[in-house]
Amino acid sequence: MSSLPNDFLFNVEMNDSVISLSSISSDSVSSESSTSISDNFLTINENDLNEDILRKEIEKCNQMIRTTKECSQERMRLVRRLVELRFKLEMVTEIKALENKNQLIETKVIFGHHLSFVWKPNWLENKICDVCAKTIWKYMHQLYECSDCGYYCHIFCLDKIKRVCTAVLASEHSMILTITPSNGLLSQDYKCAECQSYIRIRNTKLSSEDTLSLEARLCDYDGKFYCPLHHWNNTALIPARVLCNWQFEKKCVSQASFQLLNYNYKSKMYNLEKHNPKLFTYLESLNKIKNIKNSLVKMKKYLVLCKVWNAQLKNVSSRCHELLYDSVLYSMKDMVEIHSGLFLEDLQRVYDICEKHIRYECEICKNQGYICELCQKDTIIFPFDEDAHSCDKCDNVYHYQCWKNRDFCPKCKRIKERSRLQEV
Amino acid sequence: MATRKKVLLKVIILGDSSVGKTSLMNQYVNKKFTNQYKATIGADFLTKEVMVDDRIVTMQIWDTAGQERFQSLGVAFYRGADCCVLVFDVTSPGSFKSLDGWRDEFLIQASPSDPDHFPFVVLGNKVDLDNRAVSTKRAQQWCQSKNGLPYFETSAKEAVNVEQAFKTIARNALAQESDVELYNEFPDQIKLDGGSSDNRSSGGDNCAC
């Protein structure tokens, strides 16, 4: 298997040259007589696609090419033949691989990764192997991909995997929320945190390739040092920096951290209010978001019960749906959007849609508003109104000012009285 | 003039949980009954067009949740109601006792202009069942004590008395509605009078004599 990629590489190169050669020769071929030796020597039964025969045939063809004159018609023809033979060999091996498909299709479980064989890579760029940090040329190399975390590696790097699957790490460990908790290189015994190979602080005066491969690189996320093989100077947003300092500067992280941070980018796991309540006093937008979210929770009571809303739910954008069912937890993506102002914009839009439905459009929702029984004004008020106060016990809603003057809930009083009467 | 106008009557059905509010409404509007119990959550309404004394009226019947835990939303729809239907289960004395509470709550939240004469209609439902626990006499006595409310014994399952009960509900609601209408028409009439009197006075001014 391992020899195959090299063959194939040669194959591809030859292919290119042959196309140009054959296009030149095409007009002159017909004029020459068909007395060429290649037709006599290189004959194999097209149906008998045996790997060994093909290999022998290729060898023979190779030798024959060397005996021919440079740039001669004969050589061109032989080269074309060689390419054809190599293609045929490739076909045979592929068919053979397909026969062993079941073995390949089986997902391999290594360090929590669920690695499956990628048959036809259809991405535009070549991936980089997470084990050896070298390019996986998509036309040459066969590769495995982890279906959980998107870890890629060469088929021949499979045995050298050391990193635990990010999906497993993410589910078993909580995120580090202190900024770069570094203990220095000494605490790691001058070894890479992932592969245990020796590393050192790079001396810029000695800029040889040798030191580069031993360079100790600090991961800003977990504060550990890594070797260049496991720290590619990729940058990512650091949750701790965002939560503590509202700092949105990307920092260099190790490959393991990079994958973890990307994996968790969209998961809502940060309770801003719990972790850094001061943010709400310093950031006006965050405070606004909090208020709108509180209102939406109260609106949801109406929307969940409303058959009109539920019937038109399909027309509501998924973003609206997502924001409506948002909790107090935020993802890194949310925080980036809060920083850019996009989040508040979207949230405000959702609020407007919901308010329009409840307050103006829906006959059922509108009629399930409240009338302040303390002032008896005819205007309908809703729990999510700014000047409304909901009773904690009976949910009845009053104007905040009316309630403040009274300071007790008349409905609760009635309920209490009624239950007392029933007991009697 | 008013007799040809389309009128919307708002009727609210109240009562404890599982007394048959939804069933009564469904029997009246859709002529359907199901034995399966499904608690109403929040509130909902159905509309039905009926003829009452040569007038086409649209009844907007509001069905409400009887269970307290499903009454988490407001009852702004009580406002402007034309009739309130109080339903109890003749096999459940508790549901009969609760009528007082439902009536009080309705009057407070709806705050009609004349609470003593607001048209309530009382329905004792499930008379098809054998294990009756609230006698007709007891129910009638209670209705008498509240300024003589109309009382019907119904069965939503067998469609007993449902049609008659709602006919009375519609008629009483219409009576309430026309009272309101009278008030509404007053300003118009004054305006017209004012206009015509203006014309007259101006005419008077123009008149040479």
Q: Which two tokens stand for residue B29?
A: 């509007």
Least confident of A184-198, A210-224, A309-323, B194-208: B194-208
For residue A414, the chain B residues in CB contact (below 8 A) are 104-105, 108
For residue B79, the chain A residues in CB contact (below 8 A) are 371, 378
Which one-letter DSSP state was computed for residue B160? B
Q: Give the pLDDT of residue B167.
A: 92
Which neighbouring-strand residues pair with B59? B9, B48
For residue A376, the chain B residues in CB contact (below 8 A) are 111
Alpha-carbon distance values, B82 to A120, A400, B14, B102, B144 (Å): 72, 30, 14, 16, 21
Say if B8 is an interface residue toward chain A (CB within 8 Å).
no
Query: Which candidate from B74, B105, B111 shows the least CB-CB separation from A397?
Result: B74
Exposure pattern of A345-376 as b/e (b: 16+ CB <10 Å)?
ebbeebbebbbebbbeebebbbbbbbbbbbee
CB–CB contact B104 A305 (8 Å): no
Is 60 exceeded by the pLDDT of residue A18? Answer: no
For residue B97, the chain A residues in CB contact (below 8 A) are 422
pLDDT in tens, B92-142: 999 999 999 899 999 988 888 888 889 999 999 999 999 999 999 999 999
For residue B42, the chain A residues in CB contact (below 8 A) are 305-306, 364, 368
In angstroms, the CA B193 to CA B189 distance is 6
**Pair B18, B91: CB distance under 8 Å:** no
Q: Give the pLDDT of residue A5.
A: 42
CB–CB contact A371 B79 (8 Å): yes
Which one-letter DSSP state was computed for residue A130? T
pLDDT in tens, A189-212: 989 988 888 888 876 666 655 567
3-state secondary structure of B86: strand
Greater model confidence, B186 or A231: A231
In angstroms, the CA B135 to CA B36 distance is 26
Suggest the residue from A304, A305, A396, A409 to mutate for an interface test with chain B (most B CBs closer than 10 A): A305
Which residue on chain B is closest to A302 by alpha carbon? B73
Suggest the residue from B46, B71, B73, B107 to mutate for an interface test with chain A (most A CBs closer than 10 A): B73
- Torsion angle (degrees, nearest 10) of CA B2, B4, B5, B7: 100
Least confident of A14-28, A265-279, A384-398, B73-87: A14-28
Q: Which helix (H) or strand (E) holds B142?
A: helix B136-145
CB–CB contact B76 A301 (8 Å): no
Contacts of A261 (CB under 8 A, 6+ apart): A221, A236, A237, A238, A239, A253, A332
In angstroms, the CA B87 to CA B19 distance is 7
pLDDT in tens, A207-223: 655 567 788 899 999 99
For residue B62, the chain A residues in CB contact (below 8 A) are 367
In angstroms, the CA B182 to CA A179 distance is 75
Is 90 exceeded by the pLDDT of residue A375? Answer: no
Q: Where are the alpha helices (DSSP H) in A132-176?
A: 166-172
CB–CB contact A366 B105 (8 Å): no
In angstroms, the CA A209 to CA B132 distance is 98
In angstroms, the CA B149 to CA A390 distance is 35
pTM as predicted: 0.70
Is 60 exceeded by the pLDDT of residue A249? Answer: yes
Is 80 exceeded by the pLDDT of residue B154? Answer: yes
CB–CB contact B76 A371 (8 Å): yes
Say if B180 is an interface residue toward chain A (CB within 8 Å).
no
Q: How many other CB atoms are there within 10 angstroms of residue B133's CB atom?
A: 14
CB–CB contact A368 B101 (8 Å): no
- Torsion angle (degrees, nearest 10) of CA A129, A133, A139, A143: -20
In angstroms, the CA A120 to CA A187 distance is 45
Which one-letter DSSP state was computed for residue A372? -
CB–CB contact B74 A369 (8 Å): yes
Task: Tell me the helix, strand and coil percentages in chain B, rounded to 5.
Answer: 45, 20, 35
In angstroms, the CA A236 to CA A261 distance is 7
Parallel/antiparallel/unpaired status of strands A113-117 and A108-110 = antiparallel
Please return the burial class of A67, using the count of CB atoms within 10 Å of its CB with bins 0-12, 13-18 and 19+: exposed
Q: Give the pLDDT of residue A47.
A: 59
Which residue on chain A is closest to B93 by alpha carbon? A422
For residue A382, the chain B residues in CB contact (below 8 A) are 74
In A13-151, beta strands by DSSP E: 108-110, 113-117, 127-128, 135-136, 143-146
In angstroms, the CA B58 to CA B11 distance is 10
In angstroms, the CA B38 to CA B25 distance is 14
Q: Which two tokens stand for residue A383?
A: 């729990």
CB–CB contact B73 A301 (8 Å): yes
Query: Which B positions 27-56 lie with beta carbon below 8 A of chain A?
Result: 41-45
Please give the mean pLDDT across all residues of chain B. Answer: 82
Q: Give the pLDDT of residue A45.
A: 57
**Pair B52, B167: CB distance under 8 Å:** yes
ipTM value greater than 0.90: no
Suggest the residue from A371, A381, A391, A422 to mutate for an interface test with chain B (most B CBs closer than 10 A): A371
pLDDT in tens, A78-122: 888 888 888 888 777 767 766 666 666 677 888 888 888 887 777
Residues of chain A with pLDDT > 90: what percent? 22
Q: How far is A309 from chain B (nearest CA, A)?
A: 13
Which residue on chain B is closest to A367 by alpha carbon? B77
Alpha-carbon distance values, A241 to A49, A220, A302 (Å): 62, 10, 38
CB–CB contact B76 A380 (8 Å): yes
Average pLDDT over every residue of A42-71: 77
A contact set with B (CB within 8 A):
301-302, 305-307, 363-364, 366-371, 373, 376, 378, 380, 382, 395-397, 414, 418, 422
In angstroms, the CA A190 to CA A186 distance is 6
CB–CB contact B76 A369 (8 Å): yes
Q: How far is A385 from chain B (nearest CA, A)?
A: 13
**Pair B159, B21: CB distance under 8 Å:** no
**What is the band of A29 on the pLDDT scale with cuts at 50, 70, 90?**
very low
